[in-house]
Amino acid sequence: MLARHQDPIVAIATAPGRGAVGIVRVSGKAIAPLVQLLCGKALKPREASYLPFKAADGQAIDQGLALYFPAPHSYTGEDVLELQAHGGPVVLQLLLARCLEAAQTLAANGQTTLPGLRLAEPGEFTERAFLNDKIDLAQAEAIADLIDASTEAAARSASRSLTGAFSQEIHRLRDALIHLRMLVEATLDFPEEEIDFLQKADAYGQLDQLRSTLQGVMQRTRQGALLREGIKVVIAGQPNAGKSSLLNALAGAELAIVTPIAGTTRDKVAQTIQIEGVPLHVIDTAGLRESDDEVERIGIARAWEEIASADAVLFLHDLTRMQEDDYRAADAQIATTLRGQLPSSVPVMQVWNKADAFSATSARQMSAEASKIVAIHAPADTAGDEPLILSAKTGDGLNALRRQLLAMAGWQAAAEGTYIARARHVQALQQVQEHLDSAHEQLHVDSPALDLLAEELRLAQQSLNAITGEFTSDDLLGVIFSSFCIGK
């Protein structure tokens, strides 16, 4: 534990701005003298006391509730004092200053040997809860995810992670892994026993069961990461294909300017939408073409930058121009550039817009007519794909697009047991899978090298431990907790 973790800390624990109630929180070891000085009396543990909060000169700053939680029965595992006052910014700043001043007074009078009270850093209260074994690292991250949740599904999943659902799955995997490691390493330590370890200990069965269980955990973790992170979807295509209209239709609001003039969109327009609780960060970009306009060229360059960093691309085609040779040639050039710039793992969805422009008397006839045009003039690399034909103007086909976006993201209908997860959790589990795959290969050679098998199992356990924090570098902790708000 670093030296700074020994300092008592204080911060305003409620959001900036005015509110009905504001909270100033203090945490540290043996802060009872500070509680006595601030409140004018000793407080009963975990019992709210209504009293005046006084300045050093005895004048009342405010009246409110004071709660004292002696260690270890507190959020941080240390002594915690919470002063609940009226939620005005000036009042809370005065209370904060009074806490710091009172600590200095105690130190000057020699009434405490504690280091000086200081302002808390972002996430430091939760960091102390982790360091004092009140929560593990996955639960600590879930607290921030619950605060930041942008959908109901994400909030519910973060709450499940906070209660330990994700951590319990990781612990079950770790316990099974430790049991297998124990058997392997015992065989290494006592070779003279001539135990036929591979058969009697059912090492094959245990490892296969581990790998099978891991697959289920990885699937749920990917779903949890989708709920938290969402995916970045970029709408690309030639000018006037209807990209801005499609963004507006998906968002249900007039976010982007729509005109018949080519090159109207000069810069990206972004909006986060929700589909079945999954956040999709949709970005409308400038039409892709050659241009002599300096501003438009900058917009097009930015469009390619967004495409390069996308999780998925919607390549939008204009059905009304699909029979024009120049238009098809330009689409083909864009498709070639997309294939060259995007990794093979990034999907490109082909979408044909402006189905409403056809004169068919029924939606079915209109779709059939549009499908014929697609079948004849679609890019070669989409042959055989089910054409996604829609009208951003009328909304026809948008539900099909939403379903395909979810499928493209890898989303499956969320079960009640889904928990929130982060990209680092997915990466750690992928490392576990790699080590277990290597262990499986070692186990299935004619003369298994048990020392190498034991090492792969050890590395797999180390990757699991990084998720819950049993094995975590201080650098990683700094990154994680620095994203928290101050006071949490």
Q: What is the tens place of the pLDDT at every residue in 389-435?
A: 888 888 888 999 988 988 888 787 655 567 888 889 999 999 999 99
CA dihedral 176, 182, 183, 184 (to 10 degrees): 110
Superfamily name with CATH number, domain 229-409: P-loop containing nucleotide triphosphate hydrolases (3.40.50.300)
Interval 234-248: pLDDT, tens: 999 898 888 888 888
Spatial separation of the C-alpha atoms in residues 304 and 234, rounded to whole Å: 10
Residue ranges of the binding site for GTP: 240-245, 259-265, 284-287, 353-356
Digit-coded pLDDT (tens) for 192-203: 554 466 666 688
Mean pLDDT (whole number) for 71-97? 95
Which residues are known binding-site members for K(+)?
240, 259, 261, 264
Q: Give the pLDDT confidence score for residue 43 in this predicted structure.
A: 94
- What's the CATH architecture for 147-226+418-473? Up-down Bundle (1.20)
Work out the number of other CB atoms within 10 angstroms of the CB of residue 385.
Answer: 12
Q: How far apart are the first and last CA of the chain?
A: 19
Burial letters 393-424, b for 16+ CB under 10 A, else e: beebbeeebeebbbebbebeebeeebbbbbeb
Q: Please report the pLDDT score of residue 259 as a whole number.
A: 47
How confident is the model over 321-345, as pLDDT tens digits? 888 889 888 888 888 888 888 888 8
Count Cβ neighbours within 10 Å for each residue of 104-124 and write b for 16 or more, e otherwise: eebeeeeebebeebbebbbbb
- Tell me phi and psi for residue 5, to 5 degrees: -75, -10
Record the pTM: 0.77
Give the architecture-level CATH label for domain 3-135.
2-Layer Sandwich (3.30)
Which residues are documented as binding site for (6S)-5-formyl-5,6,7,8-tetrahydrofolate? 25, 82, 134, 488
Domain ranges of the chain: 3-135, 147-226+418-473, 229-409
Of the pLDDT bands very low, low, confident and very high (cuts 50, 70, 90), residue 165 is very high
Whether the Cβ atoms of residue 375 and residue 387 lie closer than 8 Å to each other: yes
HEC string for 119-155: ECCCCHHHHHHHHCCCCCHHHHHHHHHHHHCCCHHHH
Distance between CA 210 and CA 430 in Å, rounded?
14
CA distance 245 to 252: 10
**Which residues carry a binding-site annotation?**
25, 82, 134, 240-245, 259-265, 284-287, 353-356, 488
